[in-house]
Structure 1
């Protein structure tokens, strides 16, 4: 195995192998240990749940954006406890009606929190859409009245 092993190596692994002193390794297990110790620095460790406590909703940040950032970090944590996820998520929220409602009803799982957040975001979107419709009408009415004023100045007749 030790003789066939070098033929499978490329790039940095081949360089590492070529730098080993001759006859310094007597078993395949030793060779594996040498490689592991050499390349362990490139290993990506999972983050701890403590890093979730640093995630805060930014000023003016939408709930969707905050959830996306939070979930991205949560996925990089190995076996995160659901209760810790709930605490970290609510800890990072801005103070307001939604946070108050979460504390009032005390969700037990992250699924409960995400369900409530989704309902909140849908309600928020509906209210925003409702506010935008009158603004469009107001702009159209403003444009009509501007056109009417302009026609009155030039002596044209308006046909509505």
Structure 2
């Protein structure tokens, strides 16, 4: 769209090519000659789809998370990263601290993060993935019937 930004008439013609199916159905339902300019088109689009915009979460939402009793590390980390990714700004350093503090005090990952702190996001994610694999292996081992020869 940026390529055509100087030619507003062409922008109106190219606009539909950037739409996904739901927005395309909305666009196709517009009455002929109901839009007179690119500005009107973008305003109509914004007013129709404003509810689908993601709102950045404040830092306090990350601080309010904690791992629930009985929750798997995978479920907790999925919730945590979903919220972290909804935040605007660079809170990597905060992620190191809040993730480990929100784990139960006796959790192996928490003890590992306190004993051997991570220094970047990749290290944190790698450490979490390692502990998730261990947790999944333990859960699979519990579900199997032991065969005694």
- For the pair shown, which has the larger CA radius of gyration, 1 or 2? 1
Shift of 1:59: 0.8
- Number of the residue aligned with 2:56: 47
Query: C-alpha distance in 1, partners of 2:90/2:69?
Result: 27
2:66 equivalent among 46, 56, 64: 56
2:126 aligned with 1:121: no
Gaps in structure 1 of 5+ consecutive residues: 1-30, 142-160
Shift of 1:62: 0.4
Query: What is the TM-score of this pair, normalised by structure 2?
Result: 0.57
- Number of the residue aligned with 1:85: 95
Gaps in structure 2 of 5+ consecutive residues: 1-39
Higher helix share: 1
Contact 2:58 2:87 in 1 (8 A): yes
Q: Tell me which stretches of 4 or more aligned residues in structure 1 moved more than 6 Å.
A: none
CA-based RMSD of the aligned residues comes to: 3.8
Q: Number of paired residues?
A: 124
Contact 1:53 1:91 in 2 (8 A): no
SS at match of 1:77: coil
Query: C-alpha distance in 1, partners of 2:55/2:96?
Result: 19
1:1-160 correspondence runs (5 A): 46-50=55-59, 51-98=61-108, 99-133=110-144, 135-137=145-147
Query: C-alpha distance in 1, partners of 2:146/2:52?
Result: 55
Shift of 1:105: 0.4
Query: C-alpha distance in 2, partners of 1:82/1:43?
Result: 26
Query: What is the TM-score of this pair, normalised by structure 1?
Result: 0.54
Contact 2:67 2:103 in 1 (8 A): yes
Shift of 1:121: 1.5
